[in-house]
Structure 1
């Protein structure tokens, strides 16, 4: 099962592993990143578009805690499931995506 984590709860989800490095994997397209993006605070931000994940999965460390982010949560859920099926143990989906991030957590992030 993939954890569904609200943007406001993401820091707590990452912190469950103590000081272990954590990654927010943004799977949106480059134009979306230019439109709206999050500022990493206590985690690394890695951007790999969803369609490139299978070819670039080796760039991700399966030992890290990874939360996946997209616009509303559907693409990131698919990526989280793919990672889970490929040996990644600590995976979550950011429920509601960057749209929820803006609405619930950081209003300075533009909505689109």
Structure 2
């Protein structure tokens, strides 16, 4: 088993980055229903199931933070991004379940 090639970031650290940086890309890899039910403002929605087809939407030369419900799918997203050459990738540990920042935004589709 190879060594993990990405870093972890806490929900609190993500909260701080959302306030102070514009260079970080926050990618929510949950499914559409989960994202619609509530997501962190400022995130881009690319479900894990679509990541391989939509990776070109993520700038490879900027920091990428992957977010999911608990941290498992986002770890898979990090693994995939590293495998295709991304070098500054982080997984938000604990996922949305650990988020206690600004209220989650809901998306009204339909």
Match for residue 25 of structure 1 among 27, 34, 42: 27
Residue of structure 2 equivalent to 1:2: 6
Distance 1:107 1:63, change over 3 A: closer
TM-score (norm 1): 0.79
Distance 1:8 1:86, change over 3 A: same
Aligned residue pairs: how many?
101
Q: Give the conservation status (yes or no) of the 8 Å contact 2:15–2:101.
A: no
Q: Once superposed, what is the RMSD of the aligned Cα atoms?
A: 2.3
- The whole-number CA distance in structure 2 between the counterparts of 1:56 and 1:107 is 28
Q: Give the conservation status (yes or no) of the 8 Å contact 1:24–1:68.
A: yes
Runs of 5+ unmatched residues, structure 2:
106-110
For 1:77-107, what per-residue CA distance to the aligned partner results, in whole angstroms no more than 9, with x for missing partners? Answer: 0000110111111000000111111xxx327
Match for residue 103 of structure 2 among 81, 102, 108: 108
Q: Which runs of 4+ in 1 moved over 4 A?
A: 11-15
Runs of 5+ unmatched residues, structure 1:
none
